[in-house]
Amino acid sequence: MSIKVLGISTSPRIKGNSDLLLRRALAGAESAGAGTEYIRLPDYQVGPCIECNACYATGLCKVQDDYQHLLKKILDADRIIFATPIFFMTVCAQAKMLIDRCQSLWAHKYVLKKELITPGHDRRAMVIAVGGSRSKKQFDCIRLTMKSCFDSLQVYYAANLFVNKIDSLGEIEKHPSALKEAYRLGSLLAATNSPPPQKSIDIELT
């Protein structure tokens, strides 16, 4: 059976730059034989964590919205590709709401000390992020936030593809290498015949 790759596009812009990169990465994953699913997060109703801490007792989030539906897909996936624009040096609000709702998984793992997924399930993730400017620290927050989120999701953080200085809608299509790189990394992420790399891939393009 082919592996399942879930692509989560969080930009509020339809066909935004991070979204176009994600679509190329999914095409790359398909070229490696994976089955892919694409989700546009702004099409779903996912509210913020309300910090009720009910999940500390149950491991479950009690807020009933589309998070419950998305969580099943997230836990079922062998690979996750998470795409976000840079908003004020970090992920966009839509992405952050989904990430914060993963507190229930954090509670599941660290408070209740329970297994979330089948032991040995090889789960890996990649992050795609695009920023309009160029700053040395542009992607620092994303690295930390996504590491913490993937720890709770019990997914190995395998790769980053970060692109600077891409601002207007669709501008990524003029970048000399970003789309090709997304395709290549998508296909690499989906390859099942290699063990997860010891060191994560971290690519930052200008």
Ligand X SMILES: Cc1cc2nc3c(=O)[nH]c(=O)nc-3n(C[C@H](O)[C@H](O)[C@H](O)COP(=O)(O)O)c2cc1C
Q: How many Cα atoms occupy the beta-carbon half-sphere of 142 within 13 Å?
A: 29
Q: Closest CB to ligand X among 11 and 152?
A: 11
H/E stretch holding 82: strand 79-85
Rounded CA-CA distance 126/182 in Å is 10
H/E stretch holding 5: strand 4-9
Q: Closest CB to ligand X among 60 and 89?
A: 89
Q: Closest CB to ligand X among 3 and 166?
A: 166
Q: Closest CB to ligand X among 35 and 132?
A: 132
- Three-class DSSP category at 186: helix
Give least dist CB 165 to ligand X, A: 8
Q: Are 88 and 16 in contact (CB under 8 A)?
A: no
Site residues for ligand X per CB under 6 A: 11, 13, 16-19, 85-89, 130-133, 138, 166-167
- Three-class DSSP category at 200: coil
Which residue has the closest beta carbon to ligand X? 16
Give least dist CB 48 to ligand X, A: 17
Q: Closest CB to ligand X among 54 and 141?
A: 141
Give least dist CB 167 to ligand X, A: 4
Give least dist CB 101 to ligand X, A: 21
Give least dist CB 58 to ligand X, A: 35
Rounded CA-CA distance 24/141 in Å is 24
Q: Among positive and negative, which fits the CA dihedral 198, 146, 74, 62?
A: positive
Rounded CA-CA distance 103/191 in Å is 30
Q: Closest CB to ligand X among 19 and 100?
A: 19
Give least dist CB 141 to ligand X, A: 9
